[in-house]
A and B are shown apart, each in its own frame.
Chain A
Amino acid sequence: MNLVDSHGRPIVVVTGMGVVTSLGVGKAENWAKLTAGQSGIRRIRRFSTEGLRTQIGGTVDFVLPPGFVPPDLSFALAEIAAQEAVEQAAVEGNGAFPGPLFIAVPPVEVDWSSREKLSANLPADAPVTYRALIESSFGRRPDLQRLFLQGGVADRIADRFGTRGSPVSISTACASGATAVQMGVEAIRRGETSAALSIGADGSINCEALIRFSLLSALSTKNEAPEEACRPFSRDRDGFVMAEGAAALALESLASAAARGATILGVVAGCGERADSFHRTRSNPDGKAIIGAIQGALDDAGIAPEAVDYINAHGTGTPENDKMEAFACNAVFGERMTRLPISSNKSMIGHTLTAAGAVEAIFSLMTIQHGLLPPTINYRNPDPSMALDVVANVARPAKVRTVMSNSFGFGGQNVSLVFQAAPRGEAASSPVPAASPERLRR
């Protein structure tokens, strides 16, 4: 068994996965619903949507009782996903994960419900000002300080799972989850650690976040039939649907996983990234940065475009994203795009934002495991400008060895990841041979 990749670096494998989305908790429930084409998008009940243009989302309402603040939900989601991943990885020393934490989390602010609660301590007849809030709460709420620090969720997850070193909180907008995976892979490849815990979590559907995206005209307004709102690659797509969720990947060097006889769920074979300098929310029409990320992931994996069997699209359902993603895929994969299957998990689970790259990493790996391509639902009116083999509306069986998963975000963020099946001939109990030059060249 080769322990190093075509660049001579340690091969990084996945030995544990956990996921929670609006479809439910855990890999089994999510996979069953995802491949049955079920949608997790619904009318938002968490807060009043009166007067709002968008009133739907992929809220996760079954984890915390009502009245929570956003970072508490992000933490709870991350904890659920990480627990499932760590249990599956069965790494020694439960409660002390043997590696660093890379966690993609949404930015944190004191939320409106907290502002109102704090205001209740002030005289009813005077204006509420930050200065008054500061004076009345100074030193009295250390619990809120930890809650509202940007590093707070990471701090709590690091405590909970006993990860090593300084936890890194990542914010690369809608590519954050993919960046978290990438950073875990890089740390293992550099030999800094033999394992890493990469998480993406997002529990930030609240009125202000919804309104902010709405003001940028980024969201679907198809409120009447929520489960049909997100329509990636369709002619009548009108925006993405905000959603919540989390996913965690226990990453490990193949050498370490093989040595301890761990079950290998798949390989993170390649990571590519590229920043775009064109515009704050739009890609350069030349597609260079997206193409650079996709091509970079292929180069990093040491494979040709022909090796890719399926594309797990970023596929947000905004007019801009899908157009540019199709354009970039065409540039890299050429006319093969007409028969290279592509689908968007977001058609069912919505856009889990900070978590998306990690959530879709799990689904990419499960696609390989199960030989079944999850569909793009609501694909009834194909965009004629895109010659794509969209997995339309129902799951499609396929033999898949290699998946490309894309994540793009505001601020010119572009990350692509390549996942592959567990190395052939991998046998948990076989002795681990040393790498040889012949193997390095394979």
Chain B
Amino acid sequence: MHDVVITGIGLVSSLAEGADANYARLREGAPPVYDREAIAPFPIHALAPLDYGKLIPKKSDQRQMEPWQRLGVYAAGLALQDGGLLEDTAILPKVHMIVAAGGGERDIAVDEGIMTGIRAASDRGAYLNEQLSKNLRPTLFLAQLPNLLAGNISIIHGVTGSSRTFMGEEPAGLDALGVMVARIRAGDVDIGLVGGAYSALRPDMSLVFSFGGSLFSGEPAGVWSRAPRGGGMILGSVGAFLLLESRVHALARGARIASVIGPVLSDRSSRAPGAAAGNARKLWSTLEGSLAPGPVGVLSGATGVEPITAEERAFLDDVGAKRDIYVRATGARIGHSMEAAAPANVGLAALALREAGYFPPFEDDAIERAAAEPPTQIVVTSFGHWRGEGMVLVQRDRGGGA
């Protein structure tokens, strides 16, 4: 069984561009950056300014994509750059890829025009055919296909070992990590790029999350304190990619190891009351065998949706009663980024471990206690807003052989 290490982190959020800048902003307690207008009445975290040309040099490539894909391709480029592989034509064709993705942007103006016009159309079918044929840009289809984020990463960065895309909200990000880690551990793959992107500027997606009342409206609040106002997500634009490889491969090419990745656990419960917390307790007991004595950092992917966030809190309270845990819900600072959330949080964990630092509490809430010392092990949690519970253990690298 191979040790799996993280050797590259690419991260873009509303706080900053780049992994180190995000880490620094979170370390210094930078307040969250909200956009209250774009998808009002729901606040979101819009993206920090980016110069896409730095990692997507061709304008023609940029034009082929909408914001979600551009963000992902950019973050993937950052991870490759951090891992020292950007434009490494010897290794890139051997890099395998799993991307966690939803669909891409729709043309909102076209949609709204048709939705309005169709009400007066005498023949709705003919009207729809005419309007869609006339107004849909051919390239928009490719910007909408989930696997075209991976496709664009292949084209722009030259990653061609293999290309897989998982869909399905939060669990997709977790499973992308889990499958790649399993493949590297088993020795089937030496090196892989894993991640995802989410653009919060998506009224079409907000509509989907609105159906079940999963969005938080009004004055923004941290994830642990939204329950009295019904709970809900504050979505955030995030691009997050990680370069994972076997320790042998990393050492052989002289890569800098940010951290070691332990078990990646991903499961699903019925979501009957208490089921998710019960599932999480089961996962934690599996994870415990891999934990060293001492405090544990917990980077929670809590979405703010209730009652699932209350279940996660109850679970973490149980764990916290038995050992020192330092809980930080990243959603309070960078928002919830759906498929990208787990890769982003694993990236932040890897940064903290690499820098031997940790984050101050993100919220003024009893569950987020100040850390007495930087933890050497961090558990990333993911309780999907709809389904799926999972955990990833990330550990400080202590060197050693293969």
Contact = CB atoms under 8 A, between A and B. Distances in A.
Interface of A: 47-52, 105, 107-110, 112, 115-116, 119, 124, 127-131, 133-135, 137-146, 148-151, 154-155, 158-159, 165-173, 179, 183, 186, 190, 192, 207-208, 211-216, 273-281, 289, 409-413
A278 B155 contact: yes
B129 A49 contact: yes
A410 B140 CA distance: 14
- Find the residue from A47, A154, A166, A192 having the highest chain B CB count within 10 A: A166
B151 interface: yes
Given A47-B125, A139-B210, A165-B268, A208 B112 contact: no
A172 B165 contact: yes
Nearest to A108: B103
B163 interface: yes
Contacts of B179: 168, 183
B64 interface: yes
Contacts of A155: 168, 268, 386-387
Given A207-B125, A212-B141, A274 B106 contact: no
Interface of B: 40-41, 64, 97, 101-103, 106, 108, 111-112, 114-116, 118-119, 123-126, 128-130, 132-133, 136-138, 140-142, 144-148, 150-152, 154-155, 158-169, 171-172, 174-175, 178-179, 182-183, 186, 188, 203-204, 206-215, 266-268, 270, 386-388, 390
A410 B139 CA distance: 12
A276 B160 contact: yes
A22 to B, nearest CB: 21
A208 B208 contact: no
A274 B116 contact: no
B388 A137 contact: no
B167 A151 contact: yes
B145 A150 contact: no
A171 B168 CA distance: 10
Contacts of A165: 266-268
- Find the residue from A116, A158, A276, A412 having the highest chain B CB count within 10 A: A412
Contacts of B211: 137-145, 148
Nearest to B159: A275
Leading 5 A-B pairs by shortest Cβ distance = A48-B125, A151-B168, A411-B151, A139-B213, A130-B203
Contacts of A105: 167
Nearest to B178: A166
Contact of A412 (B160, B167, B207, B270): B160
B160 A107 contact: no
Contacts, number: 257
A110 B137 CA distance: 19
A412 B155 contact: yes
Contacts of B163: 172, 273, 275, 411-413
A211 B128 CA distance: 10
Given A142-B212, A280-B64, A107 B103 contact: yes
Nearest to B120: A124
Given A128-B119, A275-B150, A166 B132 contact: no
A134 B386 contact: no
Given A137-B210, A151-B387, A289-B160, A211 B129 contact: yes
B147 A208 contact: no
B145 A173 contact: yes
Contact of B168 (A145, A167, A216): A167
A280 B138 CA distance: 12
B150 A411 contact: yes
Nearest to A167: B268
Contact of A170 (B142, B159, B164, B213): B164
